[in-house]
Structure 1
Amino acid sequence: MSKIEFNEMLLSNADFLKPFAVTLTHDNEAAKDLFQETLYRALANKDKYNVGTNIKAWLYTIMRNIFINNYRKKAKQSTVFDNTPNDFLLNHNQGAVANAAIESINLKEVQQAIYNLPEIFRNPFLLYFDGYKYHEIADMLGEPLGTIKSRIHFARKLLKTQIERY
């Protein structure tokens, strides 16, 4: 098959791809990009097209594969962009503290609040804070699971009321 014949066959069967692209992306601009990428890949891989193969099915497969690959790339990226004109990164992962002295005061305040908890709440809370699961704490302290969950919940509530917010 000559290049001209392939191009004519491609153009005559390309219109059905546009609604399929919109169905996949649910966005007109993304659908246009997907459509163009599909036609580009079809032209770039015309040597892989076997004469007699259903051209529509071949193009559908190309488009579907491009869409799936793009979706997987976006899922792995996990970077969220703000839709403002400047495209700011939302999850920049910078946890800078403005003042180390304030941080140490806050830490001391939290430690003091935990120390001031009644022992019945303090022990399960500290074990939970150290990474133990509820059922492990219940086994260690010999208490029912619901009691441990309740005590940890009340410890959190007491800490929230005792710690002042700046």
Structure 2
Amino acid sequence: MEITNTDFSRSLNEMTVSLRPFALKLTKDSEDANDLLQETMLKAFTNREKFAEGTNLKAWLYTIMKNTFITNYQRLVRKNTFIDTTDNLHYINSYNTATYNLAYSTFANEDIERAVASIDEAYRVPFIMHFRGFKYHEIADKLRIPIGTVKNRIHIARKELKDKLSIYANN
């Protein structure tokens, strides 16, 4: 004797109590568990002809629920996955990851060296010594000039360099 739709529906309804905890375990959310349970029951009822009478209905429903959950999860992951189909992928966010070569600094260094070389030797020598880490009194002793003169010459050298290298003032 074949099972009727009414009997099958009653059997499904009796199984909801034991399937709900499994749905909660999978989804970790009460509303999602209710949705999963409802979807499982709908699939079971629409596919009732695939159920072989005399087999374990509970195991069949658990399998449907587990497969439904996995399918929904995979669909969600695909939906939230961003796929970029642009042709020029290397341009995306390139302003954040720009790599600068040393050309700019090479030009700047050459300009600085030329500017320093063009300063009168009386100002250039104390300036270079100070730049290399000598203290004012050490420069004064080495060049045999007063410390005030050393400070004045370094100040003048800096001022000349600032004027000669004004192109780099805002960089």
TM-score (structure 1 length as normaliser): 0.49
> TM-score if structure 2 supplies the norm length?
0.48
Bigger Rg over Cα: 2
